[in-house]
Amino acid sequence: MRSLINISDFSVAEIDELIACAHEMIAHPEKYQDSAKNKILATLFYEPSTRTRLSFEAAMYGLGGHVISVPSASNSSATKGETIADTLAVMSNYADIVAMRHPHDGAALVATNAAHVPVINAGDGGHFHPTQTLADMLTIEREFGRLENLTIVAVGDLLYGRTVHSLLHAMMRYPGNRFIMVSPEELRLPRDFVAHVQLAGIDIIETTSLTSALPHADVIYMTRVQQERFDDPHEYERLKGAYELDAQTMTHASDTSIVMHPLPRVGEIAPDIDSDPRARYFEQTYNGKMMRMALIHRLLREAAEASQSQTRHEISESQETKFYRCSNPRCVTKYERGLALRIRGAEPQCTYCDYPVTVI
Ligand code: NCD
Protein backbone atom coordinates (compact mmCIF):
# COMPACT_ATOMS: atom_id res chain seq x y z
CA MET A 1 0.00 0.00 0.00
CA ARG A 2 1.48 3.33 -1.05
CA SER A 3 1.65 6.08 1.57
CA LEU A 4 3.43 9.43 1.85
CA ILE A 5 5.65 9.65 4.93
CA ASN A 6 8.66 11.40 3.51
CA ILE A 7 8.81 13.40 0.28
CA SER A 8 11.53 10.97 -0.84
CA ASP A 9 8.84 8.26 -1.02
CA PHE A 10 7.99 9.82 -4.37
CA SER A 11 10.50 9.95 -7.21
CA VAL A 12 11.20 13.21 -9.02
CA ALA A 13 9.16 11.91 -11.97
CA GLU A 14 6.22 11.14 -9.64
CA ILE A 15 6.37 14.59 -8.04
CA ASP A 16 6.39 16.13 -11.49
CA GLU A 17 3.30 14.02 -12.34
CA LEU A 18 1.54 15.27 -9.20
CA ILE A 19 2.32 18.85 -10.19
CA ALA A 20 0.99 18.20 -13.71
CA CYS A 21 -2.14 16.65 -12.20
CA ALA A 22 -2.65 19.71 -9.96
CA HIS A 23 -2.39 21.96 -13.03
CA GLU A 24 -5.01 19.82 -14.74
CA MET A 25 -7.27 20.05 -11.67
CA ILE A 26 -6.87 23.83 -11.59
CA ALA A 27 -7.83 24.06 -15.28
CA HIS A 28 -10.63 21.46 -15.23
CA PRO A 29 -11.92 20.90 -11.69
CA GLU A 30 -15.17 19.41 -13.02
CA LYS A 31 -13.29 16.41 -14.45
CA TYR A 32 -12.26 15.36 -10.94
CA GLN A 33 -15.33 16.29 -8.94
CA ASP A 34 -16.39 12.65 -8.52
CA SER A 35 -13.00 10.99 -8.49
CA ALA A 36 -13.21 10.10 -4.77
CA LYS A 37 -16.96 9.53 -4.76
CA ASN A 38 -18.04 7.26 -1.87
CA LYS A 39 -14.50 7.31 -0.46
CA ILE A 40 -13.74 8.48 3.07
CA LEU A 41 -10.77 10.49 4.31
CA ALA A 42 -10.06 10.38 8.06
CA THR A 43 -8.16 13.36 9.42
CA LEU A 44 -6.35 12.47 12.64
CA PHE A 45 -4.68 15.56 14.03
CA TYR A 46 -2.92 15.16 17.37
CA GLU A 47 -1.42 18.64 17.16
CA PRO A 48 -3.09 22.01 16.62
CA SER A 49 -3.82 22.78 12.99
CA THR A 50 -6.12 25.07 11.11
CA ARG A 51 -5.06 25.29 7.51
CA THR A 52 -3.53 21.87 6.97
CA ARG A 53 -6.51 19.92 8.30
CA LEU A 54 -9.02 22.11 6.49
CA SER A 55 -6.90 21.96 3.34
CA PHE A 56 -7.07 18.14 3.39
CA GLU A 57 -10.79 18.27 4.04
CA ALA A 58 -11.42 20.82 1.29
CA ALA A 59 -9.30 18.69 -1.07
CA MET A 60 -11.38 15.58 -0.32
CA TYR A 61 -14.64 17.49 -0.85
CA GLY A 62 -13.21 18.82 -4.13
CA LEU A 63 -12.87 15.20 -5.26
CA GLY A 64 -16.44 14.39 -4.25
CA GLY A 65 -15.41 12.33 -1.20
CA HIS A 66 -16.41 12.35 2.47
CA VAL A 67 -14.44 13.30 5.58
CA ILE A 68 -14.46 11.94 9.13
CA SER A 69 -12.43 13.64 11.81
CA VAL A 70 -11.75 13.87 15.53
CA PRO A 71 -12.44 17.44 16.62
CA SER A 72 -9.16 17.74 18.54
CA ALA A 73 -6.39 15.67 20.06
CA SER A 74 -7.86 16.06 23.53
CA ASN A 75 -11.05 14.30 22.32
CA SER A 76 -9.21 11.25 20.99
CA SER A 77 -8.44 7.88 22.61
CA ALA A 78 -4.76 8.82 22.60
CA THR A 79 -5.53 10.58 25.88
CA LYS A 80 -6.52 7.14 27.27
CA GLY A 81 -3.15 5.76 26.24
CA GLU A 82 -4.09 4.08 22.97
CA THR A 83 -1.11 3.42 20.73
CA ILE A 84 -0.81 4.95 17.27
CA ALA A 85 -0.71 1.44 15.84
CA ASP A 86 -4.05 0.47 17.41
CA THR A 87 -5.70 3.71 16.31
CA LEU A 88 -4.59 3.18 12.73
CA ALA A 89 -5.69 -0.45 12.68
CA VAL A 90 -9.15 0.75 13.69
CA MET A 91 -9.19 3.72 11.29
CA SER A 92 -8.42 1.36 8.42
CA ASN A 93 -11.88 -0.14 8.96
CA TYR A 94 -13.59 3.25 8.76
CA ALA A 95 -11.71 5.17 6.09
CA ASP A 96 -10.14 4.65 2.66
CA ILE A 97 -7.27 7.03 3.36
CA VAL A 98 -5.89 8.76 6.46
CA ALA A 99 -4.11 12.09 6.93
CA MET A 100 -2.33 12.19 10.29
CA ARG A 101 -0.45 14.87 12.21
CA HIS A 102 1.36 13.88 15.39
CA PRO A 103 3.81 15.60 17.78
CA HIS A 104 6.37 12.76 17.77
CA ASP A 105 9.11 12.43 15.18
CA GLY A 106 8.58 9.21 13.24
CA ALA A 107 4.90 8.74 14.19
CA ALA A 108 3.88 8.68 10.53
CA LEU A 109 5.97 5.59 9.85
CA VAL A 110 4.40 3.81 12.82
CA ALA A 111 0.97 4.70 11.44
CA THR A 112 1.81 3.46 7.97
CA ASN A 113 3.03 0.12 9.25
CA ALA A 114 -0.18 -0.41 11.19
CA ALA A 115 -2.70 0.81 8.61
CA HIS A 116 -4.32 -1.14 5.79
CA VAL A 117 -5.10 2.05 3.87
CA PRO A 118 -2.80 4.81 2.53
CA VAL A 119 -1.52 7.19 5.21
CA ILE A 120 -0.45 10.75 4.47
CA ASN A 121 1.97 12.39 6.88
CA ALA A 122 0.52 15.80 7.69
CA GLY A 123 3.50 16.58 9.95
CA ASP A 124 5.34 14.31 12.44
CA GLY A 125 6.94 16.41 15.16
CA GLY A 126 9.95 18.36 13.94
CA HIS A 127 10.70 15.68 11.35
CA PHE A 128 8.84 15.96 8.03
CA HIS A 129 5.86 17.66 6.42
CA PRO A 130 5.76 16.38 2.84
CA THR A 131 2.40 17.81 1.76
CA GLN A 132 3.52 21.32 2.71
CA THR A 133 6.46 20.66 0.42
CA LEU A 134 4.13 19.68 -2.40
CA ALA A 135 2.34 23.00 -1.88
CA ASP A 136 5.66 24.83 -1.86
CA MET A 137 6.84 23.09 -5.02
CA LEU A 138 3.71 23.95 -6.98
CA THR A 139 4.10 27.57 -5.83
CA ILE A 140 7.73 27.66 -7.00
CA GLU A 141 6.95 25.89 -10.27
CA ARG A 142 4.03 28.21 -11.08
CA GLU A 143 6.28 31.20 -10.44
CA PHE A 144 9.51 30.23 -12.19
CA GLY A 145 8.28 27.56 -14.62
CA ARG A 146 10.93 25.21 -13.25
CA LEU A 147 12.17 23.52 -10.08
CA GLU A 148 15.88 23.57 -10.91
CA ASN A 149 18.73 26.12 -10.93
CA LEU A 150 17.17 28.11 -8.12
CA THR A 151 18.62 29.63 -4.96
CA ILE A 152 16.49 28.95 -1.92
CA VAL A 153 17.07 31.01 1.19
CA ALA A 154 15.40 29.31 4.18
CA VAL A 155 15.09 31.47 7.29
CA GLY A 156 14.23 30.87 10.93
CA ASP A 157 13.91 27.64 12.90
CA LEU A 158 15.78 25.16 10.75
CA LEU A 159 16.34 22.75 13.63
CA TYR A 160 12.69 21.95 14.37
CA GLY A 161 11.07 23.32 11.20
CA ARG A 162 9.72 20.24 9.47
CA THR A 163 8.61 22.18 6.40
CA VAL A 164 12.22 23.16 5.65
CA HIS A 165 13.45 19.59 6.18
CA SER A 166 11.01 18.23 3.63
CA LEU A 167 11.55 21.11 1.19
CA LEU A 168 15.30 20.55 1.27
CA HIS A 169 14.89 16.81 0.75
CA ALA A 170 12.77 17.50 -2.31
CA MET A 171 14.60 20.40 -3.92
CA MET A 172 18.06 18.88 -3.53
CA ARG A 173 17.00 16.23 -6.04
CA TYR A 174 16.55 18.81 -8.81
CA PRO A 175 19.80 19.85 -10.52
CA GLY A 176 21.50 23.16 -9.92
CA ASN A 177 19.60 24.23 -6.80
CA ARG A 178 21.55 26.11 -4.12
CA PHE A 179 20.57 26.51 -0.48
CA ILE A 180 21.38 29.33 1.91
CA MET A 181 20.21 28.48 5.41
CA VAL A 182 19.73 31.50 7.68
CA SER A 183 19.19 30.81 11.38
CA PRO A 184 20.47 31.63 14.85
CA GLU A 185 23.33 29.29 15.84
CA GLU A 186 21.01 27.39 18.19
CA LEU A 187 18.47 26.65 15.45
CA ARG A 188 20.72 25.42 12.64
CA LEU A 189 19.69 22.39 10.64
CA PRO A 190 20.39 19.05 12.39
CA ARG A 191 24.11 18.32 11.88
CA ASP A 192 23.50 14.90 10.33
CA PHE A 193 21.15 16.43 7.82
CA VAL A 194 23.73 19.00 6.69
CA ALA A 195 26.34 16.25 6.37
CA HIS A 196 23.91 14.22 4.25
CA VAL A 197 23.25 17.19 1.94
CA GLN A 198 26.94 18.00 1.62
CA LEU A 199 27.78 14.36 0.92
CA ALA A 200 25.37 14.48 -2.00
CA GLY A 201 27.50 17.32 -3.44
CA ILE A 202 24.78 19.96 -2.95
CA ASP A 203 25.72 23.62 -2.59
CA ILE A 204 24.58 24.57 0.92
CA ILE A 205 25.70 27.54 3.01
CA GLU A 206 24.77 28.26 6.63
CA THR A 207 24.76 31.81 7.94
CA THR A 208 23.19 33.99 10.62
CA SER A 209 22.89 37.00 8.31
CA LEU A 210 19.58 37.48 6.51
CA THR A 211 20.57 40.65 4.69
CA SER A 212 23.67 39.06 3.19
CA ALA A 213 21.62 36.10 1.92
CA LEU A 214 18.68 38.03 0.44
CA PRO A 215 20.35 39.41 -2.72
CA HIS A 216 21.01 35.82 -3.89
CA ALA A 217 17.51 34.51 -3.32
CA ASP A 218 15.01 33.31 -5.87
CA VAL A 219 12.88 31.92 -3.05
CA ILE A 220 12.84 33.47 0.43
CA TYR A 221 11.30 30.81 2.66
CA MET A 222 10.45 32.26 6.08
CA THR A 223 9.52 30.03 9.03
CA ARG A 224 8.22 30.44 12.55
CA VAL A 225 10.31 29.48 15.58
CA GLN A 226 8.56 26.27 16.71
CA GLN A 227 7.56 27.17 20.25
CA GLU A 228 6.03 23.74 20.93
CA ARG A 229 9.37 21.92 20.45
CA PHE A 230 11.25 23.91 23.12
CA ASP A 231 11.80 22.45 26.57
CA ASP A 232 12.86 25.84 27.93
CA PRO A 233 10.32 28.67 27.39
CA HIS A 234 13.02 31.31 28.04
CA GLU A 235 15.05 29.93 25.17
CA TYR A 236 12.04 30.31 22.90
CA GLU A 237 11.47 33.89 24.07
CA ARG A 238 15.10 34.69 23.37
CA LEU A 239 15.08 33.28 19.85
CA LYS A 240 11.57 33.92 18.57
CA GLY A 241 12.17 37.38 17.13
CA ALA A 242 15.43 36.47 15.40
CA TYR A 243 14.33 37.47 11.89
CA GLU A 244 11.64 39.75 10.60
CA LEU A 245 11.11 40.54 6.96
CA ASP A 246 9.76 44.04 6.47
CA ALA A 247 9.72 46.58 3.64
CA GLN A 248 13.16 47.84 4.62
CA THR A 249 14.75 44.35 4.71
CA MET A 250 13.11 43.48 1.39
CA THR A 251 15.12 46.23 -0.33
CA HIS A 252 18.02 43.72 -0.21
CA ALA A 253 16.08 41.14 -2.27
CA SER A 254 15.76 41.11 -6.04
CA ASP A 255 12.56 42.11 -7.84
CA THR A 256 12.19 38.61 -9.25
CA SER A 257 12.41 36.83 -5.88
CA ILE A 258 9.34 35.53 -4.05
CA VAL A 259 8.50 35.39 -0.35
CA MET A 260 7.00 32.18 0.99
CA HIS A 261 5.91 31.00 4.46
CA PRO A 262 4.04 27.81 5.42
CA LEU A 263 2.04 29.91 7.92
CA PRO A 264 1.05 30.64 10.62
CA ARG A 265 3.34 33.66 10.80
CA VAL A 266 3.94 35.10 14.23
CA GLY A 267 6.03 38.14 13.42
CA GLU A 268 8.45 36.79 10.78
CA ILE A 269 6.81 38.77 7.98
CA ALA A 270 5.53 42.27 8.64
CA PRO A 271 2.02 43.00 7.31
CA ASP A 272 3.47 45.66 4.99
CA ILE A 273 4.91 42.83 2.86
CA ASP A 274 1.38 41.58 2.06
CA SER A 275 1.04 44.22 -0.65
CA ASP A 276 4.56 43.59 -1.98
CA PRO A 277 4.21 41.93 -5.42
CA ARG A 278 6.74 39.32 -4.31
CA ALA A 279 4.55 37.91 -1.51
CA ARG A 280 3.28 34.37 -2.26
CA TYR A 281 2.29 32.96 1.14
CA PHE A 282 -1.44 33.13 0.57
CA GLU A 283 -1.15 31.55 -2.90
CA GLN A 284 0.76 28.74 -1.18
CA THR A 285 -2.38 27.75 0.74
CA TYR A 286 -4.41 27.48 -2.48
CA ASN A 287 -1.64 25.45 -4.09
CA GLY A 288 -1.60 23.22 -1.02
CA LYS A 289 -5.23 22.32 -1.49
CA MET A 290 -4.67 21.53 -5.17
CA MET A 291 -1.61 19.36 -4.48
CA ARG A 292 -3.47 17.49 -1.73
CA MET A 293 -6.26 16.82 -4.24
CA ALA A 294 -3.71 15.46 -6.71
CA LEU A 295 -2.11 13.35 -3.99
CA ILE A 296 -5.34 11.86 -2.60
CA HIS A 297 -6.51 11.14 -6.17
CA ARG A 298 -3.28 9.30 -6.91
CA LEU A 299 -3.03 7.34 -3.65
CA LEU A 300 -6.66 6.17 -3.91
CA ARG A 301 -6.10 5.10 -7.50
CA GLU A 302 -2.92 3.23 -6.62
CA ALA A 303 -4.60 1.60 -3.62
CA ALA A 304 -7.40 0.35 -5.86
CA GLU A 305 -4.90 -0.97 -8.40
CA ALA A 306 -2.64 -2.66 -5.87
CA SER A 307 -5.14 -3.72 -3.24
CA GLN A 308 -3.67 -7.21 -3.08
CA SER A 309 0.08 -6.56 -3.34
CA GLN A 310 1.28 -5.03 -0.09
CA THR A 311 4.39 -2.88 -0.39
CA ARG A 312 4.34 -1.35 3.05
CA HIS A 313 7.30 0.29 4.75
CA GLU A 314 8.06 -3.00 6.45
CA ILE A 315 10.94 -3.10 8.84
CA SER A 316 12.30 -6.37 7.60
CA GLU A 317 13.99 -8.96 9.74
CA SER A 318 17.50 -9.97 8.86
CA GLN A 319 20.13 -12.13 10.44
CA GLU A 320 22.23 -9.06 11.18
CA THR A 321 19.66 -6.97 13.01
CA LYS A 322 20.79 -4.98 16.03
CA PHE A 323 18.65 -3.29 18.65
CA TYR A 324 19.05 0.40 19.38
CA ARG A 325 18.16 3.39 21.53
CA CYS A 326 17.38 6.64 19.70
CA SER A 327 19.14 9.86 20.79
CA ASN A 328 16.16 12.10 19.91
CA PRO A 329 14.02 12.81 23.01
CA ARG A 330 11.00 13.59 20.82
CA CYS A 331 11.23 10.36 18.83
CA VAL A 332 8.12 8.19 18.66
CA THR A 333 10.23 5.24 19.90
CA LYS A 334 10.23 6.91 23.35
CA TYR A 335 6.44 6.81 23.56
CA GLU A 336 4.91 4.04 21.46
CA ARG A 337 4.90 0.53 22.91
CA GLY A 338 5.88 -2.54 20.92
CA LEU A 339 7.84 -0.92 18.10
CA ALA A 340 10.45 -2.85 16.16
CA LEU A 341 13.69 -1.04 17.09
CA ARG A 342 16.10 -2.86 14.85
CA ILE A 343 18.71 -1.54 12.52
CA ARG A 344 20.25 -3.62 9.82
CA GLY A 345 23.98 -3.70 9.11
CA ALA A 346 26.04 -0.78 10.42
CA GLU A 347 23.59 2.05 9.65
CA PRO A 348 23.48 3.97 12.98
CA GLN A 349 20.28 5.97 12.32
CA CYS A 350 16.82 5.66 13.83
CA THR A 351 14.40 4.00 11.41
CA TYR A 352 11.64 6.35 12.52
CA CYS A 353 13.19 9.82 12.94
CA ASP A 354 16.68 9.55 11.33
CA TYR A 355 18.55 10.70 14.48
CA PRO A 356 21.77 8.94 15.55
CA VAL A 357 21.23 5.86 17.71
CA THR A 358 23.14 3.86 20.28
CA VAL A 359 23.25 0.18 19.43
CA ILE A 360 22.45 -1.96 22.50
C1 NCD B 1 3.61 24.38 9.41
C2 NCD B 1 3.66 23.14 10.27
O3 NCD B 1 2.64 22.73 10.84
O4 NCD B 1 4.73 22.58 10.37
N5 NCD B 1 2.32 24.88 9.20
C6 NCD B 1 1.47 24.31 8.33
O7 NCD B 1 1.45 23.14 8.08
N8 NCD B 1 0.65 25.14 7.71
C9 NCD B 1 4.54 25.42 9.89
C10 NCD B 1 4.41 25.90 11.30
O11 NCD B 1 3.53 25.48 12.07
O12 NCD B 1 5.24 26.74 11.67
Mean pLDDT, range 250-258, rounded to an integer:
98
173 annotated to a ligand binding site: no
Backbone angles phi and psi of 204, in degrees to 5: -135, 130
By annotation, the residues acting in catalysis are: 51-52, 80, 101, 129
Model confidence at 309, pLDDT cuts 50, 70, 90, reads low
pLDDT (0 to 100) of residue 353: 94
What secondary structure does DSSP assign to 246-304, as a single string? -TTGGGGS-TT-EEE--S--SSSB-GGGTTSTTB-HHHHHHHHHHHHHHHHHHHHHHHH
pTM: 0.93
What is the reported pLDDT for 315? 52
Q: What does the pLDDT look like over 336-348, one tens digit per residue?
A: 998 988 887 777 8
Position in ligand 1 atom list of the atom nearest CA 132: 7
Q: Are strands 357-359 and 322-326 parallel, antiparallel or unpaired?
A: antiparallel
Rounded mean pLDDT of the chain?
93
Query: Does 146 belong to an annotated binding site?
Result: no
Domain extent listing, the chain: 7-129+286-305, 145-279, 321-359
Fold of 7-129+286-305: Rossmann fold (3.40.50)
How far is residue 171's CA from residue 161's CA, in Å, rounded to a whole number?
A: 16
What is 145-279's CATH number, 1.10.540.10, 3.40.50.1370, 3.30.499.10, 2.60.120.650? 3.40.50.1370
**Using one digit for the tens of pLDDT, what is the confidence trace for 203-240?**
999 999 999 999 999 999 999 999 999 999 999 999 99
Residue 331 confidence (pLDDT) above 90: yes
Query: What burial letters (b/e) apply to 280-296, b meaning 16+ CB within 10 Å?
Result: bbebbbebbbbbbbbbb
CA angle 230, 207, 134 (to 5 degrees): 65
Pairing of strands 178-182, 151-155: parallel
Q: Among 7, 43, 52, say which to mutate for ligand 1: greatest number of ligand atoms within 8 Å of CB.
A: 52
Query: Is 284 annotated as belonging to a binding site?
Result: no
pLDDT at 302 over 60: yes
CA angle 274, 275, 280 (to 5 degrees): 55
Query: Cβ atoms within 10 A of the Cβ of 150, count?
Result: 18
The percent of residues above 70 in pLDDT, for the chain, comes to 96
Which residue, by CA, sits nearest to atom 1 of ligand 1? 262
CA distance 172 to 357: 25
pLDDT band at 318, cuts 50/70/90? low
Query: Distance from CA of residue 229 to its chain's centroid?
Result: 16
Tell me how far apart the 2 most distant CA atoms of the chain are, in Å: 61
165 CB less than 6 Å from ligand 1?
Answer: no
Q: Is 143 within 8 Å of 28 (Cβ atoms)? A: no
Q: Percent of the chain beyond pLDDT 90?
A: 85
Q: What is the pLDDT of residue 340?
A: 86
pLDDT tens digits for range 134-174 = 999 999 999 999 999 999 999 999 999 999 999 999 999 99
Assess whether the C-beta atom of 99 lies below 6 angstroms from ligand 1: no
Work out the average pLDDT over 285-312: 88
